[in-house]
Structure 1
Amino acid sequence: MALKEEVLKYLSDNSSEYISGEELAHSLGKSRTAVWKAIKSLQADGYRIDAVTNRGYMLDADNDILNAQEIKKSLSFDCRVEYYKTLDSTNNVAKRIIAEGEDDVLLVVGEEQTAGRGRQGKSFYSPVGTGIYMSLVVHPMIELQNAVTATTAAAVAVCRAIESLTDKKPMIKWVNDVYLDGKKICGILTEAVTDFETQTVSSIIIGIGINLTTKYFPRDVQNASCLDADVKRAELIVAVANELNRIVNSGYGEFMEYYRAHSLVVGEDIVFIKNGVSTSARAVGIDDFGGLEVELADGTHYTLRSGEITVRKIN
């Protein structure tokens, strides 16, 4: 561990009090000059560290620093973490890393996406500093090789993470959007990577974008809002990743009841669009694989699958 990482950990572990340079140097077995240089380097990285003569140093509790170290130190599972200040999209970067031969669990995080992507070729607005843009790459058990299942797992992980850190009560609009107070705050894009030799799914890339404090959106972005909660970006990323990893390794049946209970559309009249044709129906349930069960006007029941349709709740 580099000295500045050791200094940061020591200040984080003793965040309620000032720590003198002498104590830091003695505890870490380094010179006071080396500690001072580490403090300056951390401040240059964006960490707010108070320095008071005759008292020492204190890490500001309001730091919202996002980097690989901040994320990795709190993950509950072994994972390679790649952080970028700017990237095209976290899913694209994940694909490139996989193409280089990576076969371990991977988490890609960016401060800003210049080409964030959503489902059906839509873009995902990803301004710097106000959102969470992440992709978790898993090498799934058979049950998670279904794209619908992986997406529902991600939606549950996001909602559970938000509920664990805030007093917000998010809901899920089938199949992959998380809503708060009737507006979208999170989008999820799941992509499978296939092994051409075995023709099996070797990896699933689960891309997640959350509007954390984003207040202003382009005119073509409809019905969007943000979480607007007192939570740090690294903290929420870790909570989502830990929850999603737990779900992946415990089986999809464990989270389906939660998914159903947080559905925004079950029991509502909806319109689904398939092959360019709009059809009115009533959403009546979610099946065990994440499909949306609907009842048509003539009483016929039909199950909608990912990639076929767009669902719009009727206001």
Structure 2
Amino acid sequence: MAVKNDILAYLEQHRNGFCSGELLAKELGVSRAAVWKAVESLKKSGYEIEAVTHKGYRIAANTDLLSAESIAPFLGEHCQKLKIQTFSSLESTNLTAKQLALAGAEEGTVILAEEQTLGRGRLGRSFFSPAGAGIYLSVILRPDLKASEAVLITTAAAVAVCRAVKEIAGAETQIKWVNDIYLNGRKICGILTEALTGFESGSVECVILGIGLNFSRPERGFPPELREQAGFLFAEKPDGITRSRLAGAILNHVYALCNSMENRTFLEEYRQRSLILGREITLYRSGKKQSAVACEVDHDGGLLVRYPDNSMETLHSGEVSILL
């Protein structure tokens, strides 16, 4: 298994050219036969690997499987120690991450799945997570925050995703408070942050940050109930841009912002990318809906709203909608 993973990592890092079996054997300190056996095992795992006489091996450009090895080349220095685990299928990456956190998993444990069978969004909603079309990841964070400040993780993550999408795809996205990312009027990403808090201290012991992003058009499309509002980053899988590359960029930006939470400078970008500030919204709480105007995002990530009677309130949870 170690040779297989080492060869996968090497091929991922050298996607633009062929790597000869002789070079791989020399670099990894194994036999040519071990290289061939590992390549065959990778093929059986779903990797399309081109083999050309006198040139060597190369991962085909359209191969886009998520793995720790495929993401590692795109991680910045501050993310090199992340412990990335990938799965072909999970009920929910957040659920798995939460179970690992409760068992003592350390800060920087990252869970990714090719698909989620019971993916969840906010307020218990399901999150459509088909195989091969999205990035579904959860990160275990252990920030020094009070429970009342946990919403800052969500706002920072939203800005991080927008920055990563801009960096890799060149697309400008917008944010609908508090956790949805939109492109061209359609939701392409949802963020679910779950905090485990100390009952006596009131401090956050652990945060599970879940990000689900629609990378490309699902092979069978979206379910009928999502077709009007759901979108995707790419109509077709692009050449040269893989989910691993974008996942790496997302992790880079998440950690860059989470390591500088105290200055909260990301909030200004959050405001600039807001879909709702200055607009009339519908607020849903406890089965009731109210009309309001979204006025401001405050220093703690709360949403200041003005009701028709001119009374004001700062929201730290709830669901809002607008007419796009």
User: TM-score under structure 2 normalisation?
Assistant: 0.89
Tell me how far 1:300 sits from its aligned partner: 2.7
Q: Find the aligned partners of 1:70 and 1:197 in 2 and give their Cα distance.
A: 42
Paired residue secondary structure (1:142): coil
Paired residue secondary structure (2:182): strand
Paired residue secondary structure (2:86): strand
Question: Which residue is equivalent to 1:58?
Answer: 58
Tell me how far 1:144 sits from its aligned partner: 7.8
Question: Which residue is equivalent to 1:142?
Answer: 145
Question: Which residue is equivalent to 1:106?
Answer: 109
Pair 17,185 (structure 1): closer, same or farther in 2 beyond 3 Å? closer
Paired residue secondary structure (2:233): coil
Paired residue secondary structure (1:57): strand
Mean alpha-carbon deviation: is it higher for 212-221 or for 143-152?
A: 143-152
Q: Find the aligned partners of 2:285 and 2:17 in 1 and give their Cα distance.
A: 60
The one-character-per-residue Cα deviations of 1:188-244 (angstroms, maximum 9, x if unpaired) are 111111245655321001111111113412223351111116331111111111111
Aligned with residue 310 of structure 1, among 302, 307, 319: 319
Q: What is the 5 A alignment of 1:179-258?
A: 179-196=182-199, 198-215=201-218, 216-221=221-226, 223-228=229-234, 230=238, 231-251=241-261, 253-258=264-269
Aligned with residue 298 of structure 2, among 287, 291, 294: 287
Q: What is the 5 A alignment of 1:42-81?
A: 42-76=42-76, 77=79, 78-81=81-84
Question: Which residue is equivalent to 1:20?
Answer: 20
CA contact (8 A) 2:49 2:59 kept: yes
Tell me how far 1:145 sits from its aligned partner: 6.0
User: TM-score under structure 1 normalisation?
Assistant: 0.91
Question: Which residue is equivalent to 1:125?
Answer: 128
The one-character-per-residue Cα deviations of 1:127-183 (angstroms, maximum 9, x if unpaired) are 111111111111002268623211111111111110110121110001110011111
Q: Which runs of 5+ in 2 are unaligned?
A: none
User: Which aligned segments of 4 or more residues in structure 1 are displaced greater than 6 angstroms?
Assistant: none
Pair 180,31 (structure 1): closer, same or farther in 2 beyond 3 Å? same
Matched letter for residue 241 of structure 1 = L
Mean alpha-carbon deviation: is it higher for 171-180 or for 103-112?
A: 103-112
Q: Find the aligned partners of 1:171 and 1:48 in 2 and give their Cα distance.
A: 35
Pair 17,180 (structure 1): closer, same or farther in 2 beyond 3 Å? closer
Q: Find the aligned partners of 1:171 and 1:286 in 2 and give their Cα distance.
A: 14
Q: Find the aligned partners of 2:316 and 2:299 in 1 and give their Cα distance.
A: 12
- The reply on whether 1:8 has 2:8 as its aligned counterpart is yes
Q: Find the aligned partners of 1:90 and 1:19 in 2 and give their Cα distance.
A: 34
Paired residue secondary structure (1:210): strand
Mean alpha-carbon deviation: is it higher for 232-241 or for 173-182?
A: 232-241
Question: Which residue is equivalent to 1:164?
Answer: 167
Q: Find the aligned partners of 2:82 and 2:20 in 1 and give their Cα distance.
A: 34
CA contact (8 A) 1:144 1:150 kept: no
Q: Find the aligned partners of 1:241 and 1:13 in 2 and give their Cα distance.
A: 18
Give identity over the alignment, percent. Answer: 43
Pair 234,20 (structure 1): closer, same or farther in 2 beyond 3 Å? closer
Paired residue secondary structure (2:128): coil
Tell me how far 1:294 sits from its aligned partner: 1.8
Matched letter for residue 271 of structure 2 = R
Pair 177,19 (structure 1): closer, same or farther in 2 beyond 3 Å? closer
Q: Which runs of 5+ in 1 are unaligned?
A: none
Q: What is the 5 A alignment of 1:251-290?
A: 251=261, 253-290=264-301
Q: Find the aligned partners of 1:201 and 1:11 in 2 and give their Cα distance.
A: 40
Equivalent pairs counted in the alignment come to: 313
